[in-house]
Structure 1
Amino acid sequence: MNQRFKASGLMNPMFPDEITFGEKGVTFKVRKALKSTDNFVFYNDISGVEIDSGVFFATIRIIPRMRAEIIMNNFTKGDARKVKELLLEKVQS
């Protein structure tokens, strides 16, 4: 499947967050100026997905079981909805 979504480069052009869908799970890459964090979560370990929409961009909040939530910033509203749909589809199957 290997679909990839990148956050908008408008707010953070050098270090956009990234979401990559794989066969068994999804990788969330949260980038900062001096470090980045890769979180791999199996689909069946995801208990919820929330979207906070602003005027132009959205924040995706992934709630895994037994871990801290993962927050991904500056995605377009369309990409955020698509990510949520894909995650919920994979979690239910």
Structure 2
Amino acid sequence: MNERFRASSLKNPLFPDEVIFGDKGVTFKVRKMFSSSDNFVFYADISGVEIDSGVFFSTIRVIPRMRPEIVIYNFSKGDAKKVKELILDRVRN
């Protein structure tokens, strides 16, 4: 059940963002050169998911209830679509 998606290494080869699915929620790892943040959100606390697609890469915006949105960058269009489908599928159940 622990599925993991990693952002493209073309735009950020050393510090790619990650999405990790667990049994009760999803973890978003947003990495930068000198810092990183891990955001865990229960599936029941997610109110929506949006994808902004460019020519090659997509940005995923997760909208939790009662928290600021979580933005993760540089995913392939296929991975972004799969992440959105998995989140929305688990939110409905």
Query: What is the alpha-carbon distance in structure 2 between the residues aligned to residue 50 and residue 86 of structure 1?
Result: 13
Q: Give the 3-state SS of the residue equivalent to 1:26 in structure 2.
A: strand
Give the partner amino acid of 1:73. Y
After superposition, the C-alpha distances for 1:21-47 in whole angstroms (9 at most, x for unaligned) are 000000000000000000000000000
* Corresponding position: 1:4 with 2:4: yes
Give the partner amino acid of 2:38. D
Q: Give the 3-state SS of the residue equivalent to 1:10 in structure 2.
A: coil
Match of 2:70 in 1: 70
Match of 1:88 in 2: 88
Q: Give the 3-state SS of the residue equivalent to 2:60 in structure 1.
A: strand
- TM-score, normalised on structure 1? 1.00
Task: Report the Cα offset of residue 49 of structure 1.
Answer: 0.1
Match of 1:44 in 2: 44
Query: What is the alpha-carbon distance in structure 1 between the residues aligned to residue 66 and residue 15 of structure 2?
Result: 28
Query: What is the alpha-carbon distance in structure 2 between the residues aligned to residue 21 and residue 84 of structure 1?
Result: 12
Percent identity among equivalent residues? 72
Match of 1:54 in 2: 54
Moved over 6 A (4+): none
In structure 1, runs of 5+ residues without a counterpart are none
In structure 2, runs of 5+ residues without a counterpart are none
Query: What is the alpha-carbon distance in structure 1 between the residues aligned to residue 8 and residue 42 of structure 2?
Result: 25
- TM-score, normalised on structure 2? 1.00
Q: Give the 3-state SS of the residue equivalent to 2:50 in structure 1.
A: strand
Task: Report the Cα offset of residue 89 of structure 1.
Answer: 0.2
**Aligned-CA RMSD value:** 0.2
